[in-house]
């Protein structure tokens, strides 16, 4: 058994020496001063900082523009159940049976016993003021009775109204826009609105034709001094 053991040890030493001889050139190369070395290179770069906002600067003042005034709402027309004259047509002879129907201005409401007033009959469609060549001109006015309580207390003021004048110069609708300030202002407005129905105007014209138009009208109550 001794000879094989010596042979195995010899092989081991031989292998170790052989590996050492193979690694020796690489070790010499690494330790040599002439061996190539990797040199580091500097890469230029620039750091850009975030801009700093000037929080001390005074903010620009907001520019407020007044909104355009809204046109006054048109008063709702009174609905009276029935048929208007424009809704009835006939093509038969004059002695043919006719349909009898309560006079009104709409069928889109519940039947009622209301009577059609002059102000409810076929209201004309007014033309815009900027389209007319001449506005209505007062021909015949009515002296508005001064309310007794307002006269006794010396109360005065102006009532601003909006009226619809048809192509014949008649007043068709009256709406109070502004009432004099004070406890008795409502009495002046009621008196002016009631009297304005009796006013007569020269109608507005557009292209030489009489047209309906809405205008603002101011009536002033002044006591004699």
User: What's the confidence (pLDDT) of residue 210?
Assistant: 94
Residue 141 placed within a domain: yes
Q: Is the model's pLDDT at 36 over the cut of 60?
A: no
The reply to whether 186 and 165 lie within a common domain is: yes
Number of domains in the chain: 2
Same domain, 115 and 155: no
Residues 120, 78 contacting (CB under 8 angstroms): yes
Average pLDDT, whole number, for the chain? 75
Task: Let me know if residue 165 belongs to a domain.
Answer: yes
Per-residue pLDDT of 142-187, as tens digits, reads: 889 999 999 999 999 999 999 999 999 999 999 999 999 988 999 9
Looking at residue 61, what is its pLDDT? 65
Residue 102's pLDDT is what? 57
- Does residue 156 sit in the same domain as residue 205? yes
Q: Which residue has the tokens 């709702």?
A: 76
The answer to whether residues 139 and 189 belong to one domain is yes
Let me know if residue 69 belongs to a domain.
no
- Higher pLDDT residue, 131 or 38? 131
Q: Are residues 104 and 154 in the same domain?
A: no
- CATH (domain of 185): 3.30.2420.10
- Residue 127 lies inside a defined structural domain of this protein: yes
> Confidence class of residue 1 from pLDDT cuts 50, 70 and 90?
very low
Residue 6 confidence (pLDDT) above 70: no
Cβ atoms of 172 and 165 closer than 8 Å: yes
Residues 184, 138 within the same domain:
yes
Residue 29 host element (H or E): helix 2-31
What's residue 86's pLDDT?
47
Q: What is the mean pLDDT of residues 117-129?
A: 73
- Does any domain span residue 56? no
Do 175 and 198 belong together in one domain?
yes
What is the predicted pLDDT for the residue at 157?
94
117 and 186: one domain?
Answer: no
Q: Three-state SS for 13?
A: helix
127 and 205 housed in the same domain: yes
Domain containing 118 equals: 78-89+99-122
Region of residue 74 (phi > 0: left; psi between -120 and 50: alpha; otherwise: beta): beta
Residue 191 has pLDDT above 60, yes or no: yes
59-115 pLDDT, tens digit each:
666 665 655 555 555 555 555 555 554 444 444 444 444 445 555 555 556 776 766
Which pLDDT score, from 0 to 100, does residue 133 have?
92
Are 105 and 189 within one domain?
Answer: no
The whole-model pTM stands at 0.48
DSSP symbols for 78-145: PP-BSB-GGG----S-TTS------B-SBSSS----PPPPGGGS----PBPGGG-SB--EEEE--PPP
Does residue 128 sit within a domain?
yes
Q: What is the pLDDT of residue 56?
A: 66
- Residue 24, pLDDT > 60, answer yes
The C-alpha angle with vertex 149 and arms to 148 and 150, in degrees rounded to 5, equals: 90
CB 118 within 8 A of CB 88: no
Q: Is position 186 within any domain? A: yes
Indicate the pairing of strand 213-221 with strand 157-165. antiparallel
Please check whether residues 148 and 82 belong to one and the same domain.
no
Is 9 a domain residue? no
Longest dimension (CA), the chain: 159
Looking at the structure, tell me whether residues 141 and 107 fall in a common domain. no
């Amino acid at each position: 058994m001794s000879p094989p053991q010596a042979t195995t040890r010899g092989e081991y030493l031989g292998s170790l020496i052989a590996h050492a001889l193979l690694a020796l050139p690489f070790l010499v190369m690494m330790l040599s001063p002439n061996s190539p070395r990797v040199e580091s290179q500097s890469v230029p770069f620039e750091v850009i900082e975030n801009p700093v906002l000037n929080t001390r600067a005074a903010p620009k003042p907001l520019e407020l523009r007044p909104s355009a005034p809204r046109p006054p709402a048109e008063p709702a027309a009174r609905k009276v159940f029935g048929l208007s004259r424009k809704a009835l047509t006939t093509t038969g002879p004059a002695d043919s049976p006719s349909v009898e129907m309560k006079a009104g201005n709409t069928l889109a409401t519940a039947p009622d016993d209301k009577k059609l007033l002059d102000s409810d009959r076929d209201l004309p469609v007014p033309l815009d003021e900027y389209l007319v060549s001449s506005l209505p001109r007062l021909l015949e006015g009515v002296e508005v009775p001064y309310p007794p309580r307002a006269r006794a207390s010396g109360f005065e003021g102006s009532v601003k109204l909006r009226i619809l004048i048809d192509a014949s110069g008649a007043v068709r609708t009256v709406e109070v826009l502004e009432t004099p300030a004070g406890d008795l202002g409502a009495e002046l407005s009621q008196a002016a609105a009631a009297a304005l129905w009796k006013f007569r105007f020269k109608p507005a014209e557009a292209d030489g034709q009489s047209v309906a138009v809405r205008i603002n009208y101011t009536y002033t109550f002044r006591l004699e001094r």
